[in-house]
Chains A and B, each alone.
Chain A
Amino acid sequence: MLGFRFDSLQLPAHAEETRKRVRAFLDKERKAGSFVPHRCSWNTFDAEFSKRTGAAGFIGMIWPKKYGGHEMKMLDRFVVTEEMLAAGAPCGAHWIADRQTGNQILHHGSERARELILPRIARGECYAGIGMSEPNSGSDLAAVKTRAVKVEGGWRINGSKIWTSHAHRVHYVIALVRTEAATEKRHEGMTQFVIDLKAPGVTVRPIRNMSGEEEFNEMFFEDYFVADDMLVGGLGQGWNMVTGELVYERSGPDRFLSDYRLLVELIDRVGRIPGERQAVAIGRLVAHLAALRRMSTSIAGMMEHGENPLVQAALVKDIGTSFEREIPEIARDLVAVESSLDDPDDRFAETLAATELYAPAFTLRGGTREILRGMIARGLGLR
């Protein structure tokens, strides 16, 4: 028997009610022309859209009301995220804060941090990023060198972080830093802190990605002061914190719906009467998607029951992002159209171009395919 399972799950009635509400919200937004579906994904930063999303109650849904949340269930949040992605909504500004940063602060942060940050995240006004990787610490996360030294009332941080999405426009990141020198027990001596990017001592350098967008960044810390109560999860608990949040990061619909809009454009471009080869290939993609969605839903249900299905999350991310990588390759094979960076009259050509240039990131960000397969192998009892 395999060492892990996916429980069956029927979405409860309250989650389907939430689906109706978020669809109504998204319909209204689309009709108002607030976003162009085929040009958006969960990387698209649109603060105004996030503010309206927060006002409508779709951010911080599972958090307590006293921190601005809505005390709903994990499965309500799951439905909202999948509907946002399927609609091609520009949900990138609040995505990380809602998906993981806010949860970390809620469960492991100080009372001051919760009161200061969570209500603003839930209103869609405050955004966050992830500060894990460093220039010499990518997949080997325990190799982080950024150092925090204890001072009166807090810590002084020196070092740098890299690949933080939207660091040039978000308000906070949670950074994983060394609070003790590295020893043979390399997973010990690390701690997470909430970093205020508007405070002195931290600078941000945007890094252009290969399609020319300024999305991710390098951050430099020079004697950055962080107060004691911005520590998340206990001194020396950084590694446990980081691995604990991976399940939020890896199992969600953002790991198989990143280029869903290209699939929609492909179907419309092929038209109502597909050729045999087109029908077979599209049918295969839809079958893969249906299975992935069920697995991801199952994990959301297991998380709601207090489980932490890390191996399953790695598995969904591995096959989900491989599926995402396949869509542009199959799309270009089924439709004889050259991808084009600027062809406003050809949505398919534009979506294909944007996706092709972004696709390499799918199987890198949030844990490379190779790291995930190592985790799955451990789950199978091979390591």
Chain B
Amino acid sequence: MSKANQQEASMSAILLEQTDRLLGEQVTKEIISAAEEGKWPDALWQAVEESGLTIAMVPEDAGGVGVEAADALRLVRRSAFHALPLPLPETLLAQSLWVSAGGEVVEGAVTLAPCNPGDRIGITGSGGGFTLSGAARRVPWGGRVGHVLVLATDANGNEHLALVPQGKARADARRNLAFESRDTLVFDGVSLPAAAVRAAPAATAGEGLLLLGAQLRTQQMVGAMERCLDYAIAYANERVQFGRPIGKFQAVQHMLAVAAGHFAAATAAADAAIEAHGRDDAELAVAVAKSRAGEAAGQVAAISHQVFAAMGFTQEHPLHFSTRRLWSWRDEFGAEAFWQERIGRLVCNNGGDALWPLLTGA
């Protein structure tokens, strides 16, 4: 490792550690519960913004922190470990995309649309101004954030990024299983000035936005699974029944071993997706990671609840913050079957002998 690389590695290690400390202190059970009841955690958001996390991926010369995408994705993973009830992953990505399209850093929280693979937003207009039309379902914090970064397609098939201030689109409040906002945004002829619309960068071309969203949710699932396992292993060592900790019973040990296997496989796939970020083979890596992590998420959540028995089913213990997020995130930006089908079609179309070269990249 070169000296410059070492410095960079320790920089990102420091940033991860700082983030862990900040979120560990501030993301309390009370804050998450209040956020789930609809109260925006303003002080927490301020702290997150002040630490530079929302503009982590924006280059330094554009006013950001200039963290490598790989490190930013690891930050996203840690934010999910703490069940941060805020659109940090979405803002982090949206700010970076908008700046890469030539825009400037935006004040406050920003989300992305469309998120559902079936939704398309149309755009008409030119230098004098633009108009958006269409609807986007399940937009994270769509009705709560300051701006929505919309990927829109014109009549010629060209893609644009449009920065839409809150209030321009109609927002129908919807929530996922974690009580996180997943609103429907209706763009009923939303007019925008020319400065709010830019040509979409390469990263969002085609299904790029879907891929980036799947990448975020994959990393988040890995973080939340780690938290579940931490909780479950600690509880298995504490909870005494029949005169000994339940973790001493083989049945419980084997359940947790299975969960650890799923978690390890999901982490391996998610690490590979981070490495592939921005590369030509990113789509396959993300498809593998999102589907593998999604399958693992279901297993890890189920096993954690089984270990915790009734206590994990209540709001007394924080386990549910992590498991409800896992059940939501595995569905978002394409559930397992969505990505598995894509992998399967690709592999079948190539034929059996082409699979090994695909897996080895050689």
User: How far does the alpha carbon of A173 sit from the alpha carbon of B264 in the complex, in Å?
Assistant: 34
Number of residues in B with C-beta < 8 Å to the partner? 53
Interface segment, one of A58-66, A185-193, A286-294: A286-294
Given contacts A291-B292, A318-B261, contact A264 B362 (CB under 8 A): no
What 0/1 readout, one digit per residue, does chain B (248-280) give for beta carbons within 8 Å of chain A? 101011101110111111111101100100000
Which residue of chain B lies nearest to A284 when distances are taken between CB atoms in the complex? B340
Q: Are the CB atoms of A16 and B362 closer together than 8 Å? A: yes
Given contacts A16-B362, A377-B253, contact A291 B261 (CB under 8 A): no
Q: Are the CB atoms of B288 and A279 closer together than 8 Å? A: no
What 0/1 readout, one digit per residue, does chain A (271-285) give for beta carbons within 8 Å of chain B? 111101011111110
Q: Which residues of A in the span 250-273 have a Cβ within 8 Å of any Cβ on B?
A: 263-268, 270-273
Q: List chain A residues, Cβ under 8 A from B248.
A: 382-383
Given contacts A274-B348, A288-B292, A315-B264, contact A283 B237 (CB under 8 A): no
Q: Are the CB atoms of A2 and B344 closer together than 8 Å? A: no
Interface segment, one of B113-121, B199-207, B225-233: B225-233
Q: List chain B residues, Cβ under 8 A from A374.
A: 250, 253-254, 257
Given contacts A267-B355, A278-B348, A290-B272, contact A319 B261 (CB under 8 A): yes
Q: Are the CB atoms of B254 and A373 closer together than 8 Å? A: yes
**Cβ 8 A contact of A272, one of B233, B254, B292, B348:** B348
Which residue of chain A lies nearest to B290 when distances are taken between CB atoms in the complex? A287
User: How far does the alpha carbon of A248 sit from the alpha carbon of B248 in the complex, in Å?
Assistant: 29
User: How far does the alpha carbon of A270 sit from the alpha carbon of B352 in the complex, in Å?
Assistant: 10
Q: Which residues of B in the span 306-362 have a Cβ within 8 Å of any Cβ on A?
A: 336-337, 339-345, 347-349, 351-353, 355-356, 359-360, 362
3 closest A-B pairs by CB: A279-B344, A283-B344, A283-B340
Given contacts A287-B269, A287-B340, contact A267 B347 (CB under 8 A): yes
User: How far does the alpha carbon of A266 sit from the alpha carbon of B253 in the complex, in Å?
Assistant: 35
B111, CB-defined interface residue at 8 Å = no
A36, CB-defined interface residue at 8 Å = no
Given contacts A281-B344, A283-B339, contact A373 B257 (CB under 8 A): yes
User: How far does the alpha carbon of A15 sit from the alpha carbon of B339 in the complex, in Å?
Assistant: 31
A1, CB-defined interface residue at 8 Å = yes
Q: List chain A residues, Cβ under 8 A from B268.
A: 6, 291-292, 294-295, 298
B291, CB-defined interface residue at 8 Å = yes
Given contacts A278-B348, A286-B355, A318-B261, contact A377 B339 (CB under 8 A): no
Q: List chain A residues, Cβ under 8 A from B340.
A: 279-284, 287
- Name the prevailing secondary structure of the A interface residues: helix
Q: Are the CB atoms of A271 and B233 closer together than 8 Å? A: no
Q: List chain A residues, Cβ under 8 A from B236.
A: 382
B85, CB-defined interface residue at 8 Å = no
Q: Which residues of B in the span 71-121 have a Cβ within 8 Å of any Cβ on A?
A: none
Given contacts A287-B340, A376-B260, contact A294 B271 (CB under 8 A): yes
Given contacts A295-B265, A383-B248, contact A274 B275 (CB under 8 A): no
Which residue of chain A lies nearest to B234 when distances are taken between CB atoms in the complex? A381
Q: List chain A residues, Cβ under 8 A from B353.
A: 264
Q: Which of B230, B266, B287, B347 has the most CB of A within 10 A?
A: B347
Q: Are the CB atoms of A287 and B287 closer together than 8 Å? A: yes
CB distance from A6 to the nearest CB of B (A): 6
User: How far does the alpha carbon of A27 sit from the alpha carbon of B32 in the complex, in Å?
Assistant: 59
Q: List chain A residues, Cβ under 8 A from B343.
A: 279, 282-284, 286-287
**Cβ 8 A contact of B254, one of A1, A293, A370:** A370
Given contacts A16-B362, A292-B265, contact A276 B341 (CB under 8 A): yes
Given contacts A291-B269, A374-B253, contact A264 B275 (CB under 8 A): no
Which residue of chain A lies nearest to B294 when distances are taken between CB atoms in the complex? A287
CB distance from B281 to the nearest CB of A (A): 11
Which residue of chain B lies nearest to A282 when distances are taken between CB atoms in the complex? B344
B36, CB-defined interface residue at 8 Å = no
Q: Can you name 7 extra interface pairs (CB under 8 A) apart from A283-B340, A380-B260?
A: A1-B226, A264-B353, A279-B341, A283-B345, A290-B292, A380-B229, A382-B247
